[in-house]
Amino acid sequence: MAHRGADMRRGDSTTAVEPYFLRPFRPDDLAAIVALWNRCLTKDPISEDRFWHHIVLDANFDPEGALVAEADGEIAGFLQAIVRRVPMPGVGTEPETGFITVFFVAPHLRRQGLGTALLKKGLDYLRQQGRSTVSCNGYSPIYFFPGVDEDYTAAQAFLRAGGFAAHPGAVAMGMRLEGVRMPEAVRARAEELRAKGYEVRMFERADTLPLIAFSLEHFPEYGDTIRDGLQRGDEEIVVATKDGEIVGYTQWENTYTDPPSGAEGRFGPFGVRADLRSKGIGSVIFYTLIERVVSRGSRYLWFGWAGGRNLSFYERASCRVTRRFTLYTRSLEG
Ligand SMILES: CC(C)(COP(=O)(O)OP(=O)(O)OC[C@H]1O[C@@H](n2cnc3c(N)ncnc32)[C@H](O)[C@@H]1OP(=O)(O)O)[C@@H](O)C(=O)NCCC(=O)NCCS
């Protein structure tokens, strides 16, 4: 299973890293991998606890795709290739698609082909799993980043050199909550909606089954998120109803998407039934949640992945883009 480094040397200008191995992740790698992650991914520091819960305890985790590079007895790099083995509501197992979720090489060992060796083995793993395309990133619902941060310029150049095509568009956003209240126009809209049979209010336990059913039908990709969050006691949820039926919701600090203890200020998921959009229901939900969490002491709201049409909603609500990501894809055929 171990691979020696001779095939990694490329021409006279590169220094061979001897000896090196690529091998599957072992639980006793945890401390060294997390330490190297924190040296390499400076915008995304991680604790051992979060690595363990996000990555190792992910239902799709396979150590054969979690590749460790070892050089001179030290951890020199890491790359995770993963496929959905457990179907996710709404997307199934995505049988064509494999994912690269994270990769890094120790700074002093870069530009010597180690990243390329990790990538090649990761792509081979995805081919063995029968996948024909690879996406970096786009893996959900538990993710660290939706794509490659625009500030990780070496990683961007590396993936382009590896034959990946770039698709910009995903952003992370946030807003300070001090002094934020529901704008008067939104409050007036809430009144109009109420007269038409809508209600926007905090979740109650009686909403549990209708909310899970709503989520699975209209936002299947959030179905597990809402149920698992509830299972962990995350009941900071706002629901919108029309004549008693749930038509929208949002959730605060869901611990399922940020195991084990949740990320402070993390907003979402958030959704309004497709046929009832553009009526102001989303704004009423959004500010109802904000007023609630501000009253409980929250000072900041953020989320890690927005794009497309929902961007203009958040921009109008004074959220700022805090990070920009590029999604990379390539074919695994040929
Ligand atoms: C991206 C990274 C893993 C590359 O590792 P590496 O071992 O240096 O990669 P390689 O030596 O195999 O590079 C292969 C090719 O990628 C391109 N490349 C890699 N780093 C580059 C850089 N800093 N600038 C320009 N091109 C670069 C080059 O084309 C290179 O070939 P060359 O050296 O013959 O010119 C490494 O820079 C890193 O760990 N970065 C920080 C982690 C990160 O940002 N990860 C992304 C988030 S998941």
pLDDT tens column, 281-318 = 999 999 999 999 999 999 999 998 887 777 888 988 88
Strands (E), the chain: 20-24, 66-71, 74-82, 97-105, 133-136, 148-149, 165-176, 198-202, 237-242, 245-252, 267-272, 300-306, 320-331
Omega of the bond leading into 146 within 30 degrees of 0 (cis) = no
pLDDT per residue as tens digits for the range 1-48: 344 444 444 433 334 455 688 999 999 999 999 999 999 999 999 999
Closest residue CA from atom 42 of ligand 1: 104
The answer to whether residue 101 scores a pLDDT higher than 90 is yes
Q: Which of 110, 112, 116, 137 to mutate to test the pocket of ligand 1 (most atoms within 8 A of CB)?
A: 110
Closest residue CA from atom 31 of ligand 1: 111
Residue ranges and CATH numbers for the domains of the chain are 5-170+327-331 (3.40.630.30), 179-298 (3.40.630.30)
Q: How far is ligand 1, taken at its centre, from the CA of residue 317, in Å?
A: 38
**CA–CA distance from 175 to each of 43, 128, 265, 296, 308 (Å)?**
18, 43, 10, 17, 19
pLDDT per residue as tens digits for the range 264-284: 999 998 999 999 999 999 999
Q: Ligand 1, closest atom to CA 149?
A: 47
Average pLDDT over residues 162-181: 94
Closest residue CA from atom 37 of ligand 1: 154
- pLDDT attached to residue 72: 84
- 76 or 226: whose pLDDT is higher? 76
- pLDDT attached to residue 18: 59
The chain-wide mean pLDDT, for the chain, equals 91
- pLDDT attached to residue 254: 86
pLDDT per residue as tens digits for the range 140-152: 888 888 899 999 9
Query: Taking a C-beta distance cutoff of 8 angstroms, is the pair 106, 79 a contact?
Result: no
The pTM of this model reads 0.89
Closest residue CA from atom 23 of ligand 1: 154
Q: Which of 158, 164, 325 to mutate to test the pocket of ligand 1 (most atoms within 8 A of CB)?
A: 158
Q: Which of 33, 44, 111 to mutate to test the pocket of ligand 1 (most atoms within 8 A of CB)?
A: 111
The answer to whether residue 204 scores a pLDDT higher than 80 is yes
Query: Taking a C-beta distance cutoff of 8 angstroms, is the pair 73, 99 a contact?
Result: no
Closest residue CA from atom 46 of ligand 1: 155
Closest residue CA from atom 16 of ligand 1: 158
- For the chain, give the percent of residues with pLDDT over 90: 75
The CA distance from 34 to 50, in Å, is: 10
Q: Which residues line ligand 1 (CB under 6 A)?
A: 40-41, 102-105, 110-116, 148, 152, 154-155, 157-158, 161
